[in-house]
Amino acid sequence: MRIELTLPDLVRVGLAAAADPMGELAASLQVLQRRDGGRNAASAAFNRWRYRVWQGLPDSAAVLMWLCRPDAPIPEFLVPAAGRYDLETGLAAVLKADSVSLKAALRTAPADRDLPAWAAAFADGDTAG
């Protein structure tokens, strides 16, 4: 595929006033999980970073890692518009996500990949814990 942009196209391109912390966090979790054996130079450039981050991740990060799989779209409830420019506001919005949004995120699981125990219980209607 080749995309050609004209000068009028480029003039209409806008940049955000600031980085989206929730989007950056979710995308970073996807990059963290990518494994290509160093065959891709762009991916290999992150290997040292991956190693350092993996060493410091708590066990509880497994939930976010599963939700932000590199082979699936980032669930919408993890990148709320309310938190576009502010991490605190974004985290507060994620904590207020409703069960419909959470269950929709679980439905994006690839068919060949089993749901983790926490996700399977939630998908079955268990909202405790």
What is the model's pTM? 0.73
User: What is the rounded CA–CA span in Å between residue 33 and residue 79?
Assistant: 18
Two tokens at 102? 């959470």
- The answer to whether the CB of 79 falls within 8 A of the CB of 116 is no
User: What is the rounded CA–CA span in Å between residue 75 and residue 107?
Assistant: 10
Number of CB atoms found within 10 A of residue 122's CB = 19
Length of the chain: 129
pLDDT, residue 80, reads 87
Residue 48 pLDDT level (bands cut at 50, 70, 90) = confident
Among residues 102, 104, 86, 113, the alpha carbon closest in space to that of 23 is found at 86
Percent of all residues in the chain with a pLDDT value above 70, rounded to a whole number: 84
DSSP state of 92: H
pLDDT, residue 6, reads 93
Query: According to the per-residue pLDDT averaged within each range, which of 19-33, 58-72, 82-96 is highest?
Result: 19-33
Residue 7 pLDDT level (bands cut at 50, 70, 90) = very high
> Where along the chain do its domains lie?
7-96
